[in-house]
Amino acid sequence: MNLWTRALAAALLGACVCAPPAHANVVIGGTRVVLPAKDGEVTVRLTNDNERPALVQAWIDRGDPKATPDTVDTPFLVTPPMFRMEPQRDQSLRILYTREPLPADRESLFWLNVLEIPSKPAEQGAANQNYLQLALRSRLKLFFRPPGLAGDPFKAPAQLTFRAAAGELVVRNPTPYHITLSTLAVTDAGKAYEVETGMVAPFAELRLRVPQLGKPAAAGAAVRFNAINDYGASSPFSATVTP
């Protein structure tokens, strides 16, 4: 049984047992990764906040959360791919672009996986006790950004357009950047309605449900939303519904 299989089995066992909420001891410095093509690489900082060491494995996939390190095929190398992290220590992950062709007119989206496998309890008598050990995996968006893309990624959310449909809001992204919406609301006839959120791919549309609004929002209805920028911070924007 390989490392991934053992870790997955432990995670599934944990889901079936009533236990206190688990949290990762290996903390990732950031909530997303942007890799500029001109640089060819990016560094991600990890910190082990625990009092015990942990085994860490890292890999990148194309969007399939079930993909394992031995099956993924991406134009990136992660080094080191597996390592031991001592307690209260930092470790840097280097993500290297292997120069395989990717679209030059827009960002490409990948996912960075960081799997943390904690060490066994070292307390006296632990070998004779029952305990639950969880392997925790974090997945972060990795944006590969080609050189020379038009516009400013921090201002890209201001270019989103919104069109109403029955019970939905159709979001159009005319920019080459991925735009993640963290909050979204539309005000129609003086009443604000919460809208589902999501990520709009470059030059694409995203249909989001407005559960409490049974009819299309009127043209000119106010739209207020927050978008996540390169640093993981939320920035406010406003727009109106177009016909």
The Cα angle at residue 240 between residues 234 and 241, in degrees rounded to 5:
115
- Tell me the two tokens of residue 235: 């920035």
Cα R_g (the chain), whole angstroms: 22
Helix residue ranges per DSSP H, the chain: 3-15
- Tell me the two tokens of residue 172: 């159009």
CATH 2.30.31.70 for domain 156-242, yes or no, is: no
Q: If we measure between CA atoms, which residue out of 146, 156, 168, 167 comes closest to residue 228?
A: 156
Q: What pLDDT is stored for residue 17 in this prediction?
A: 38
Beginning with the edge strand found earlier in the chain, give each strand of the sheet holding 82-85 in spatial order: 32-36, 136-145, 108-118, 54-61, 82-85
**Residue ranges of domains in the chain:** 3-145, 156-242
Q: What is the DSSP string of 99-134?
A: -----SSS-EEEEEEEEEEEPPP-STTGGGS-----
Other Cβ atoms less than 10 A from the Cβ of 169: the count is 26
Residue 235, by phi and psi: left (phi above 0), alpha (psi -120 to 50) or beta? beta
Reported as a single tens digit per residue, the pLDDT across 178-235 is 999 999 999 998 999 999 999 999 999 999 999 888 889 999 999 999 999 999 999 9
- Tell me the two tokens of residue 51: 């009092």
Reported as a single tens digit per residue, the pLDDT across 10-67 is 444 444 334 444 567 899 999 999 999 999 999 999 999 988 999 999 999 999 999 9
Reported as a single tens digit per residue, the pLDDT across 55-97 is 999 999 999 999 999 999 999 999 999 999 999 999 999 999 9
Reported as a single tens digit per residue, the pLDDT across 131-184 is 667 789 999 999 999 999 999 999 999 999 999 988 899 999 999 999 999 999
> Rounded to an integer, what distance in angstroms lies between the CA atom of residue 41 and that of residue 31?
17
Largest CA distance in the chain: 70
CATH number of 3-145: 2.60.40.10
* Single-letter residue type at 102: L
SS3 of 215, please?
coil
> Rounded to an integer, what distance in angstroms lies between the CA atom of residue 81 and that of residue 114?
10
9 pLDDT above the threshold of 50: no
Q: What pLDDT is stored for residue 2 in this prediction?
A: 55
SS3 of 78, please?
strand
Q: If we measure between CA atoms, which residue out of 57, 55, 56, 53 comes closest to residue 121?
A: 53
Q: What pLDDT is stored for residue 11 in this prediction?
A: 46
* Single-letter residue type at 145: R
Q: In this predicted model, which residue has the larger pLDDT, 12 or 110?
A: 110
Domains 3-145 and 156-242 share a fold: yes
Instruction: Write the DSSP symbol of residue 207.
Output: E
